[in-house]
């Protein structure tokens, strides 16, 4: 059956060529671009990908636009900072041969954070629902989007390679963005934290990542990441409190 690989982009000139090269095995490659102002579109077309542009509203909307515009039996969503391996390509071909009932497949990821493969703290297997049978899936939520699947979800074994958080500055910038989204969602859902809630949540989250999810397996690197994630969990609930008090976040 036909498999089309889709990559959502905005100013990804540093990543797009390597990403598309890792997807050369797909029947078709499509870029859904949010009007990049760098060389992303030119490089993608030069690599043989089809490109169409759509103004960015939120992540779920961009995924749904791709589902509506792309004509294929199966669609594999890959981020520009991810790479598909030959093993993953083989497995995708196997599960999309028409003999299986699943409507979607979740793909594990090898997350490289600050250049280091990170296996503990919830960073592996880090399953993402990415391989979708067209017409059976819709995406919801503006950030940390989720795929709502009409049917069974299977789990692949071969991982995507994810070059996640290239440096601390990148990590902090993205966590601040995610915090703003998540705090607004909590606020709209009626969350009303007490004064001690941010600190308790920070400790809970730190312990959860370090001990329950075995962040300690990554040594000092894992301890650092678990501490940072605990800090941003605290900041998220502080932002909710700021919304309640009418202060800008």
Q: pLDDT (tens digit, 9 = 90+) per residue, 38-60?
A: 999 999 999 999 999 999 988 89
Domain shared by 53 and 133, yes or no: yes
- H helices present in 98-189, as ranges: 168-188
CATH for 129: 3.90.550.10
121 & 25 share domain: yes
| 12 and 99 assigned to the same domain | yes
Would you say 109 and 77 are in contact if contact means Cβ atoms under 8 Å apart?
Answer: no
Residue 249 belongs to some domain of the structure:
no
The answer to whether residues 130 and 23 belong to one domain is: yes
* Averaged pLDDT for residues 51-76: 93
Beta bridge pairs of residue 247: none
DSSP 40-55: HHHHHHHTT-EEEE--
Number of domains in the chain: 2
Give yes or no: residues 145 and 211 share one domain: no
Report the range of poorest mean pLDDT among 8-12, 102-106, 184-188, 225-229.
Answer: 184-188
Q: Which of 164, 186, 202 finishes a domain?
A: 164
Range of the domain at 181: 168-244
The percent of residues in the chain predicted with pLDDT above 90, rounded, is 91
pLDDT score of 124 = 96
- For residue 153, give both structure tokens: 């979800």
Percent of the chain with pLDDT over 70: 98
Report if residue 206 sits inside a domain: yes
Specify the pTM: 0.89
Residues 79 and 124 in one domain: yes
Q: What share of the chain is helix, strand, coil (3-state, %, to 5)?
A: 40, 25, 35
pLDDT of residue 1: 86
126 plus 155 within the same structural domain:
yes
Q: How far is CA 28 from the centre of its chain?
A: 21
At residue 143 the predicted structure's pLDDT band, cuts being 50, 70 and 90, is low
Residue 10 resides in a domain: yes
Question: For the chain, how far is it from start to end, CA to CA, in angstroms?
Answer: 48
31 with 109, same domain: the answer is: yes
- The CA distance from 197 to 201, in Å, is 6
Residues 6+ apart with CB under 8 A from 125: 108, 109, 159
Residue 43 falls inside a structural domain: yes
| 42: three-class secondary structure by DSSP | helix
From 121, 137, 164, the end of a domain falls on 164
Domain match, 182 and 123 both: no
Same domain, 173 and 157: no
pLDDT at 249: 45
Buried b (16+ CB within 10 A) or exposed e, 75-93: bbbbbbbbbbeeebbebbe
């Amino acid at each position: 059956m036909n498999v089309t690989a889709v990559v959502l982009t905005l100013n990804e000139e540093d990543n797009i060529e390597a990403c598309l090269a890792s997807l050369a095995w797909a029947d078709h490659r499509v870029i859904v671009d949010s009007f990049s102002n760098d060389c992303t579109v030119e490089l993608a077309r030069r690599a043989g990908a089809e490109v169409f542009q759509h103004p960015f509203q939120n992540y779920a909307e961009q995924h749904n636009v791709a589902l509506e515009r792309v004509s294929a039996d199966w669609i594999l969503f890959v981020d520009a900072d991810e790479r598909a391996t030959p093993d993953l390509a083989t497995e995708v071909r196997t599960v999309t041969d028409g003999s299986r009932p699943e409507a979607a497949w979740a793909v594990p990821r090898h997350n490289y954070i600050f250049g280091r493969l990170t296996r503990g703290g919830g960073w592996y297997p880090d399953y993402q629902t990415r391989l979708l049978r067209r017409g059976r899936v819709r995406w919801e939520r503006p950030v940390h989007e989720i795929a709502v699947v009409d049917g069974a979800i299977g789990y692949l074994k071969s991982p995507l390679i994810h070059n996640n958080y290239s440096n601390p500055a990148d990590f902090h910038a993205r966590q601040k963005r995610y915090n703003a989204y998540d705090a607004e969602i909590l606020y709209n859902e009626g969350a009303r934290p007490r004064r001690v809630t941010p600190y308790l949540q920070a400790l809970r989250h730190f312990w959860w990542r370090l001990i329950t999810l075995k962040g300690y397996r990554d040594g000092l690197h894992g301890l650092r990441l678990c501490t940072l994630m605990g800090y941003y969990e605290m900041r998220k609930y502080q932002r909710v409190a700021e919304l309640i008090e009418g202060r800008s976040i």
